[in-house]
Amino acid sequence: MLKNIDPLLTGRLLKHLDQLGHGDVFGLVDRNFPAYRYDRPVIDLRAATTETAAAALLSVFPLDSYVDHPIRRMEIDDQPDVINEAAAALQRAADAAEGTTVSIQGVERFEFYRQAAEARFLVQTGETIPYACYLLKKGVV
């Protein structure tokens, strides 16, 4: 056990986060996302929502401040500008962790699937809100 580390952050998850370099991306995806389609490690956080997973992850994960949009979100089909409650929760967690407003870019669903193939690993939550899928780019400490 470690002090001051959220219990959602397992040793395996911390190892994967630590092995990312500046500019590397991981996916934070909902329970409906086809995570096992990709030849990437999948870390099971199905006991967590987007809100709880994001708070834990962003407590240790630096977002890339050298790009315009360090987070990309899957857009809702036919409603690309709608921000659901999961996306709003991620926004709040990112802003709190970074101490500033973090820009999140919407990505059309099928384009998001293509971009997710470049993620180093995926963290799959039990989030029940559809379209709660994100790609987070690592910054520097």
Q: Which residues are catalytic?
A: 22
Give CA–CA dist 75/132, Å, rounded: 9
What's the token pair of residue 19?
Answer: 């092995």
Contact residues for 130 (Cβ-Cβ < 8 A; gap 6+): 30, 32, 76, 84
In this structure, how many other beta carbons lie within 10 angstroms of the beta carbon of residue 45?
A: 23
Give CA–CA dist 27/86, Å, rounded: 14
Please report, as a single letter, which amino acid is at residue 12: R
Contact residues for 47 (Cβ-Cβ < 8 A; gap 6+): 8, 126
What's the token pair of residue 20?
Answer: 């990312």
